[in-house]
Amino acid sequence: MIRVHSFSGGVGSMTAAVRDAEANGFEDLLLLFTDTLIEDRDLYRFMIESAAFIYGLPKPIDLICRCKDIPDVDKDMPARALTGLNRTV
């Protein structure tokens, strides 16, 4: 059985996943993040670090370093827009 946790990037969802992993192991644990594209880049860093912690992996420094390249939500929203989803009615 796969256990799915909504992984929002907040401390609450991280804590719930940690408790589940501690109680049941992480082999069948799936963290599900639904990106709204309006999150601060530090949220992605936190999620990467906490997912590594939950799964007992070393910090993936290469991924953490790439978070600084995510466009700033306060200054560069057009760079975050999904493309190709516009439709005419």
Q: For residues 33 and 30, give the distance between their C-alpha atoms in angstroms, rounded to a whole number.
A: 10
Reference 30, options 39, 41, 22, 21; nearest CA is 21
Q: For residues 6 and 30, give the distance between their C-alpha atoms in angstroms, rounded to a whole number.
A: 9
Segment 9-56, tens digit of pLDDT: 899 999 999 999 999 999 999 999 998 888 888 999 999 999 999 999
User: Could you tell me the pTM of the whole model?
Assistant: 0.79
Strand-pair partners of 29: 3
Segment 60-82, tens digit of pLDDT: 999 999 999 888 877 777 777 66
Containing H/E element for 13?
helix 11-24
The SS3 assignment for 61 reads helix
